[in-house]
């Protein structure tokens, strides 16, 4: 997930919010201000199109760490 985050920042996206402890006690969530600027494929990482304005547009979930990288609309 670090690779995705670094690439997104390099492409002009920025971290606008962070959170921890949900849905798992060890989970860290990082929110980017814009939609993802590229598509990524990594082992143990799943892309999810949430598309819910009450939450966020999309996310990548790392099943090995339970961390989430989400993007706003």
Task: Print pLDDT tens along the chain (73 aa).
Answer: 999 999 999 999 999 999 999 989 999 999 999 999 999 999 999 999 999 999 999 999 999 999 999 999 9
For the chain, the distance separating the N- and C-terminal CA atoms, rounded to the nearest angstrom, is 20
Cβ-based neighbour number of residue 29 at 10 Å = 19
pLDDT of residue 44: 97
Q: Which of 53, 50, 54 lies closest to 70, judged by CA?
A: 50
pLDDT of residue 42: 96
pLDDT of residue 10: 98
Q: DSSP state, 66?
A: -
Cβ-based neighbour number of residue 40 at 10 Å = 14
């Amino acid at each position: 997930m670090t690779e995705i985050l670094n690439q997104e920042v390099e492409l002009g996206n920025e971290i606008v919010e962070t959170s921890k402890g949900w849905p798992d006690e060890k989970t860290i969530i990082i929110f980017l201000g814009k939609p993802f600027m590229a598509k990524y494929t990594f082992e143990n990482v799943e892309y999810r199109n949430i598309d819910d304005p009450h939450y966020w547009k999309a996310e990548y979930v790392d099943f090995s760490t339970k961390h989430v990288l989400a993007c706003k609309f």
